[in-house]
Amino acid sequence: MERPIGQTLLGLAVTLAAIPLLLQVFTKALERPYTIYVDANSEILRLTTRELNSTTWYLPNARIVQRIAEVEKQTSDTQSLPKPTRGDASKMGSELIEIDFNTPEPKINHFHGYLHIGPNAIVTMTRRGAGPLVVTIESNASSQRSFNNMIPAATMEPLDCINDGDAMLDTTGKSACTSDEISDDQKRLTKPLALHQAKLLVDIGDAPLNGTLNGIGTIGGDPYQPTMPASPPLLRHGEISIIGRKLISGQVYTLMQTTLHLGDTVNVNGQFEPDSQKNALDQSSATALFTCLFSVQNGSMGGRGIELACHASGRSLDIGSYSDSSRRDLAPRPWDVLINEPSMQATLPLAITGFFVLVLRLLDSLYPRLCRWIGDTVARLR
């Protein structure tokens, strides 16, 4: 049966109008978490580790400038216990010894060894310019039931420096245990120490400090609301790439790229499995887990800030910048997927052709009625 030209043109117009909808349907069908890579130079990195975290750093030369040890936390509650009276006739009264917990804090302890970062720990790495690296670790109290039952945020395991042959050598061939002269009033940590809160000052030598950190958080710092009387640490520069994977061959391809500018912050939106973890971290929206590799070089070697290579699996990303909301909830567009996905390139034309044939079939019965209705309407208007 030969169709009127008007019916064919109407079917073609409906099909063309439905192409954006078909693109959205195919994109949703192929939608899956994208792998987002962030390569940046930043002066700050702040992440909160997950429940099953096992991260270890080797620190050749660090100084403990602030600490709250596990033993100090557990004994702090005993200060509220009633003290024994001198006239108490009980047998145990003579065995009780009053302990003064208000002892002065120990002086700076030099540390050389392994730093084990525990679960649910808030880790902040800060390095302004070519200065020293400041590492702050504290327990995430909101994810713990009680203060006494807190898992230590970090454990410091010093290396044995008695036998110089057992110590690791740096790039200059000297032992890290004897590279610095320690005065008598600044003792070196010699026993393992579990900490709920610690602040370390890490000196960067000739060899770079490399390590990894897994956690939830944001890359970059907020330059508009400083939290301390100092110049706020910033993200200096970087680049973001969103990677997809082909369905058939499994090869990867770049869906989109964007450049990071001075002062930007990066956050990846993903999905959480347990709701308890989401509530514990007080996240209004699901946030993806960052896996970061960092490297800190000495200023004499051109090192500035912290070099970061991070990746996360998520559905979109937010790039924060002052008075700029155009880069919020960024995700690949349907066109980005179409030009890179071979399976979609082959399926979409077939889908459009099938949709066009379906529209023509529907118009076989609707088009004559539509023509009569238009004719009657025009006649009444006359």
* Residue 288 DSSP SS3: coil
How far is residue 176's CA from residue 116's CA, in Å, rounded to a whole number?
19
Domain that holds residue 247: 34-74+107-314
Considering 314, 332, 359, which residue would you say is the last residue of a domain?
A: 314
Same domain, 281 and 219: yes
**Cβ-contact 303, 222 below 8 angstroms:** no
- Confidence (pLDDT) at 374: 81
Task: Decide if 176 is inside a domain.
Answer: yes
Same domain, 134 and 205: yes
Same domain, 22 and 114: no
**Cβ-contact 376, 19 below 8 angstroms:** no
How far is residue 341's CA from residue 23's CA, in Å, rounded to a whole number?
12
Task: Decide if 357 is inside a domain.
Answer: yes
- Confidence (pLDDT) at 185: 46
- Confidence (pLDDT) at 69: 63
- Confidence (pLDDT) at 65: 83
Same domain, 261 and 369: no
Tokens of 182: 């320690």
- Torsion angle in degrees (nearest 10) through CA of 245, 28, 338, 260: -70
Task: Decide if 278 is inside a domain.
Answer: yes
- pTM as predicted: 0.68
| Structural domain count, the chain | 2
Same domain, 118 and 232: yes
How far is residue 108's CA from residue 187's CA, in Å, rounded to a whole number?
7
Same domain, 258 and 164: yes
Same domain, 25 and 135: no
Same domain, 221 and 288: yes
Task: Decide if 229 is inside a domain.
Answer: yes
**Cβ-contact 142, 281 below 8 angstroms:** yes
Task: Decide if 330 is inside a domain.
Answer: no
Task: Decide if 177 is inside a domain.
Answer: yes
Closest by Cα among 167, 101, 142, 128 to 43: 128
Ranges in the chain, pLDDT < 50: 71-106, 146-147, 162-176, 178-185, 272-285
Same domain, 198 and 310: yes
Same domain, 285 and 297: yes
Considering 297, 314, 331, which residue would you say is the last residue of a domain?
A: 314
Task: Decide if 156 is inside a domain.
Answer: yes
Same domain, 176 and 307: yes
Same domain, 189 and 280: yes
CB environment 310-334: b (16+ within 10 A), e (fewer):
bbbbbbbbbbbbeeeeebeebbbeb
DSSP structure string for 120-143:
TEEEEEE--TTS-EEEEEEE-GGG
How far is residue 356's CA from residue 352's CA, in Å, rounded to a whole number?
6
- Confidence (pLDDT) at 30: 65
How far is residue 160's CA from residue 172's CA, in Å, rounded to a whole number?
20
Amino acid letter for position 351: A
Task: Decide if 12 is inside a domain.
Answer: yes
